[in-house]
Amino acid sequence: MPVISLAEASRERDQLRNQRRHLVFTNGHFELLHLGHLRYLEAARALGDALFVGVNGDQSTLRLKGRRSVIVPAAERAALVAALKPVTAVVIFEEDTAHSTIEVLRPELYVKGGDYSSQASKTPPKPLPEREVVEAYGGRVIFVDYLANHSTSARIAQIQSLHQ
């Protein structure tokens, strides 16, 4: 199952529920795919029977990242994420948070990287706006370890430094 609509994801979710299989959901921009993303998605997938990934659309990425342009268009980012072995399906969403997608899918587990956890070492945790909606229907929020020195921002800075 590659990149699918939210309606298709909802139908797949219903099938999983009927089979008593557990859905894990996560989301992100995945601007430049790197090893940290892969390890994060592998860890998320290991927590359940299926992993659906929400990918922020281009307009959402522009609003949230504050860049003049999107590095890789959403359709390409979603296709790359969907091609990864741990990923069951990908949904592109244009909202600034994954609230609506989570409300439709109601995954048993919502997974984010350790940079959103209070256990993140050097920096304060990022706020997690989806926590409230997940916990409201009885889902659980899980944080997986953050792979140090593997961030998109660091990769972009490294590329930019090559051209100075």
The CATH number given to whatever domain includes residue 132 is 3.40.50.620
Cα–Cα distances in angstroms (integers) from residue 61 to residues 18, 37, 51, 58, 88, in the given order: 34, 17, 22, 5, 23
1 assigned to some structural domain: no
State residue 120's pLDDT score.
Answer: 46
User: Sorting pLDDT into bands at 50, 70 and 90, what band is 121?
Assistant: very low
Mean pLDDT over 49-54 rounds to 98
118 is in which domain, residue-wise? 6-162
Cα 28 from Cα 6, distance rounded (Å): 16
Give the alpha-carbon dihedral of 8, 33, 26, 103, to 10 degrees. Answer: -50
For the chain, how many structural domains are there in total? 1
pLDDT surpasses 60 at 118: no
Entry pTM: 0.86
